[in-house]
Structures are given as C-alpha cells and as structure tokens.
A and B are shown apart, each in its own frame.
Chain A
Amino acid sequence: MIELVLKAVAAPMLLGAALLAATHRLARQDDNNARLKRGGAAWGVALAAAFAVSVFVQEGAPRWPPAARWHGTVYAIVTAALIGLATSLPKNTLLSSSMTAAGAAIAAAGFVSLPGVDTVLWRGLLGAVVAVLALVLGVASRRNVGWVWPVGGAVIFTVLSGLFMQSHFAKAAVACGAVAACFGSGGVLMLTRLAGGFSVTGAVTAATATAVLSLTGYAYDPSGPLRWTWALPTVSLLGFALAAGGRASKPGLPRKLIGLAWIVVCCGAAAGLDFRARMSAKDKAADSVYSPY
C-alpha cells in the first residue's frame, strides 16, 4: 500500500509541483515573457499530468481505444489542459476563455462514454456542464483569488477521492488523491511565491476534471444509495467561481471565504450524506440476513 501511495499519489504530486515551480522560475527570469508570467498556465498542465500519471501508474500505458471506459476521463482532462494552454498563451481574454470552454466541452463529451450514461443526452449534458463551469471559472481565473483556489481545489478532490473510496472504486480514489495532493503542493508553492496563481488553464482543467470525475463516480456506483451526491462537488466548484470571482479584479477576503465556505459545505454534505446512506443501507442488509426467503 505504501508503494502504491508513493507511486500513484506522491510521484504525480511531485511532478505537478515541479511543473509549477519550473514554469514560475522561467517566468521570473524573463519579465518580458508575458506568456509565462500569466503562467499560472502551468496549473492546468500540472493537474492533468498528476491525474494522468496516477491513472497510468495503476493501469499501465495509455492506449486507444481505452482498456476501460473510465480511462476516457484521462484523455478528456489532458485535452482540456492542452486546449487551455494553447488558448491562454496569446492573451487571456473572454474570447479565449469561451473558446477554451467550448473545446473542453467537446473533449469531455467526445472522450467520456461511461456505462449507463453514454447516451447522446448524457454526453451532451456533460459537455454543457463542462462548458458552463469552465466559462464561469475562467472568468474567476482573471481575478486574483489567491490561496483559496488551491485550498478549494484540494477540498473538492479530497472529497471526490473519499466518495470513490466509499463506492469501492479505489483506483479512481487514488487518482483523485493525486490531484488533491497536487493542489496542496501547488498551494504551498504559491504561498512561498514559488508558483503562479489561478489561470484559465487551471480553471478549464479543474472544471473538466471535476465534472467528468463526478459523472464517473455516478456511472460506476449504480447501487449507491444516494447517487445524486456525486453532483455536489461540481455544484461546489460552480458556486465557488460565482462567489469568489465576482466583478472585482481582486476580491476581498469575505468573498474568498464565502467561495471557500460554499465548497466546504457542498463537499462536506456530499461526503456526510453518502457515508450516512451507506451505513444505513448496510444495516438494512444485515437485517435481511435473518429474514425469510
């Protein structure tokens, strides 16, 4: 187990942190390099790399078509990060954010085809959710939300990891743990001024990852007692973007705290309600052992 944590959580986390730190160092060496100064752009690549490395450490080399349908999430998240990176390089504008959101939506709907939720309607819904989330979060990424970004991201992916663990999907739980750890290490680097801040690339990657992993949990948890709780991490990210983003270029501490509190409440509710429902279902199952058949 320790070996698994080292290879599938710690190593991806260190990779993400190294990407963030290296990009930031390059940006500081060359003040004229506007691309890298905005380069919180590395956030998206770091998060996507952490998730992809964690999955493939556990599942083997990537291949197409994927060996399991949930591997499509990796392709969707990596594509979203690359689209975000490409469109954020020229200039971070509303147009580029919109293009990024549309690209991420197409990637999510195209790559993610999960059992039971693979109809056109479901995939269209996923694309729409990714588009809205990426767009709103992209706007928020142009505000200086500071430390609440990595803290909020870490909370969301820690709770997703916990939900996956409760639904017995350990590989996805470990991969989400790697993303949460990447948020955490990136936050530490930000606080010590060794990494850039929130960016549109990070926004679109986080939006795509949160939405597709929430749907993945829903798809592979058909007997889960409260499947709708899988939507709460996505709802929490949307609320965070609306609350912390706002119109001010540098939102005050209250707005940041409201955004973070929204994440904590939604994700806490998801984890708590799911845990309670599973314990209750288990009690009923235990009773049925003694019932006639």
Chain B
Amino acid sequence: MNPRNVVVAVAVIAGLGCVLGWRSAYLPEAGRAEAAPAAVESFAIDAVHSKALFRVHHLGAGMFYGRFNDVTGTIVFDGTSAAGPQFDVSIAAGSVDTGNDKLDGHLKSPDFFNVAEHPKLTFKSKSAKKLNDKTYEVSGDLTIHGVTKPLTAQVDWTGTAEGRGGKRCGFETVFTIKRSDFGMTYMLEGGGLGDEIRVIVSLEGMIGGGR
C-alpha cells in the first residue's frame, strides 16, 4: 500500500472519530433515553423543572386545576434493572398556586391543607414493578394533611439525558385520590367541590450541573 494512502486513511478515520466524539459530548441528547446509566444513582429532584398539579370538580361544573411549585426530594434509579425507581418526594403545601391569591390563602387554611400544621405533602415509595420498558407500577405511602395512606400508581419513565453539565432523568404519573380519605372534607357536602382529585406529578431528577 502506498504510504501516502495509509496516512490519508488514518487521518480520515481520526477525523471521523473526533467528530463523533464531539457529538456525543456536546450535542443535545434528544432521543437518547435508551442510553440508560448502568449504575444505581441518586438524583436530586430539580424543583424548577418538577411540578405537581391537581384537578378537582368545581360546583359540579368545570374542572379546576391548581399546582404546587415547590417539589423536592430524591429519585434512585439505574435505568435498567427490574427493581425500578425509588422515590422520596416532598411538596411544600404552602407553594400551592392557583393564580388567585385569595384562593391560595383559602387552600393554605385549616379548611384544606392546613399549612400551619402540615407544611409538607410527601410520597415515599416502598416497591416498584416493571410493567414494560417505560412504565413501572410504584407503591408507597402518600401523606397529605397529616394522614398517610398507601398508594399504587403507574409511573412513566420519560427519559434520561445528559445536559448542562449534569445527568438527568424524568418521570411522570397520573393518579386519582379521594380528599376525604385524607380528612379534607370542606365543601364536600352539597357538591361544592368534588371528592376525587386527579393528581399529575412530573419529576426531573439531576446529578450535578445547573438548572
């Protein structure tokens, strides 16, 4: 083989390697959820990119939504094992936000969340079962208004990625609870506010990096 051709071939291969290496290091990671981390890791919940929403039937007419802005905690996850993720989630009851100050004040009062006595809503998982590549059935204890009840919910793994100098993972779940089970009965009689609450929780965990 011509030595000159060998040099050119090596240079081309090296150049391709550099380009591919740069892509994997710096380009956005969309669609790379399958590239899961191998080791079990503990992700801190990113309060900025995590939210908990709730929906309740108002006056038997419209569906009313509110949210909690301060969601913190940890997610332990390796992305591959059948054991699934472990969640330890804490929500500041005082961060309830409906877009209306008066309504927020009422929701914080003893009529509803009683923030002065019960400042946190928490969920601590006990077990998880893998249903398919993207879905787990997670069981644990949900505490609202100082009352703890067991909860089992389907949790979707929405992705794992690296960006902004850190590693991230995402989960989302939708489940329904009865507020009367947690001792919140205000306006229950007469149908002022429905008993069933649909809860939507979207979590993003991160290791290192900034928001």
Contacts and interface: CB of A to CB of B under 8 A. Distances in A.
Q: How many residues of A sit at the interface, in one of the four size bands?
A: 20 to 34
Contacts of B105: 167-168, 223
A168 B117 contact: no
Scoring A69, A168, A282 by chain B CB atoms within 10 A of each residue's CB, the highest score goes to: A168
B190 A170 contact: no
A169 interface: yes
A38 B111 CA distance: 39
Given A115-B117, A220-B116, A4 B189 contact: yes
Contacts of A69: 117
B101 A67 contact: no
A80 to B, nearest CB: 22
Given A115-B116, A222-B116, A282-B101, A171 B110 contact: yes
A120 interface: no
A1 B190 contact: yes
B175 interface: no
Looking at chain B's contact residues, the main secondary structure is loop
Given A4-B189, A115-B117, A285-B101, A168 B183 contact: no
A282 B189 CA distance: 31
Contacts of A222: 116
A36 B4 CA distance: 121
Contacts of B192: 1
B114 interface: yes
Given A68-B114, A115-B117, A169 B109 contact: yes
Contacts, number: 45
Given A70-B110, A168-B108, A170-B106, A3 B116 contact: no
Contacts of B190: 1, 3-4
A115 B185 CA distance: 21
Scoring A1, A4, A220 by chain B CB atoms within 10 A of each residue's CB, the highest score goes to: A220
A285 B101 CA distance: 9
A171 to B, nearest CB: 5
Nearest to A57: B189
A219 interface: yes
Contacts of A172: 110
B110 A68 contact: yes
B211 to A, nearest CB: 14
Contacts of A70: 110
What 4 pairs between A and B have smallest CB-CB spacing?
A115-B116, A168-B106, A168-B105, A168-B109
Given A167-B109, A169-B109, A171-B111, 17 more contacts: A1-B190, A1-B192, A3-B189, A3-B190, A68-B114, A68-B117, A69-B117, A167-B105, A168-B105, A168-B106, A168-B108, A168-B111, A170-B109, A220-B109, A220-B116, A282-B101, A285-B101
9 contacts: A1-B192, A4-B189, A59-B185, A60-B185, A168-B106, A169-B109, A169-B111, A220-B116, A285-B101
